[in-house]
C-alpha cells in the first residue's frame, strides 16, 4: 500500500525586472524557451561581494545592479570615458 501526503510548495516566480537607473520595466534578456525560436543571449551581471569564506561556510555582503539594454550602453560609455579598460573576448561552449 502506498500512502501519500499533499504538500503545499511555495515557489518564487520572476514577474518583472526594473532598471535600477531609469526605472524602465523590461523582460529578461535571457530566453531559452524554444517557443518563439529565441535562443539569443544578452546577459549582463554587475555585482560586488565581500566577506569571509571558509570551507564550512561564510557570510558577507553583496551589491547588485540591474540595467536595461539602453542603460548598459550608457554604463559602457561612461566606464570607457573614465579610462576603465574593458576587455572583450569570444566564448563558446
Residue 52 lies in a domain: yes
53-79 residue pLDDT tens: 899 999 999 999 988 888 999 999 999
In percent, how much of the chain has pLDDT > 70? 78
Measured CA to CA, the distance from residue 74 to residue 20 in angstroms comes to 13
Length of the chain: 93
Tell me, yes or no, whether 11 lies in a domain. Answer: no
Question: Is residue 62 included in any domain, yes or no?
Answer: yes
Residue 72 domain-assigned? Answer: yes
Q: Does 21 reside within a domain?
A: yes
Domain limits for position 27: 17-81
Which one, of 65, 82, 84, lies nearest residue 22 by Cα?
65
Q: How many domains, the chain?
A: 1
- Looking up cell 510548495, which residue turns up? 9
Model-level pTM?
0.61
CA 45 to CA 47: how far, in whole Å?
Answer: 6
| Residue 60 in domain | yes
For the chain, the farthest-separated pair of C-alpha atoms sits apart, in whole angstroms, at 71
Indicate whether 73 belongs to any domain: yes
Do the domain assignments include residue 92? Answer: no
Amino acid at each position: 500500500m502506498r500512502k501519500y501526503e499533499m504538500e503545499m510548495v511555495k515557489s518564487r516566480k520572476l514577474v518583472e525586472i526594473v532598471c535600477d537607473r531609469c526605472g524602465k520595466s523590461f523582460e529578461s534578456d535571457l530566453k531559452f524557451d524554444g517557443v518563439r525560436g529565441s535562443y539569443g543571449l544578452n546577459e549582463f551581471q554587475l555585482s560586488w561581494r565581500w566577506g569571509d569564506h571558509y570551507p564550512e561556510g561564510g557570510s558577507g555582503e553583496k551589491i547588485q545592479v540591474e540595467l536595461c539594454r539602453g542603460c548598459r550602453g550608457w554604463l559602457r560609455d561612461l566606464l570607457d570615458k573614465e579610462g576603465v579598460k574593458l576587455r572583450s573576448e569570444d566564448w563558446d561552449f
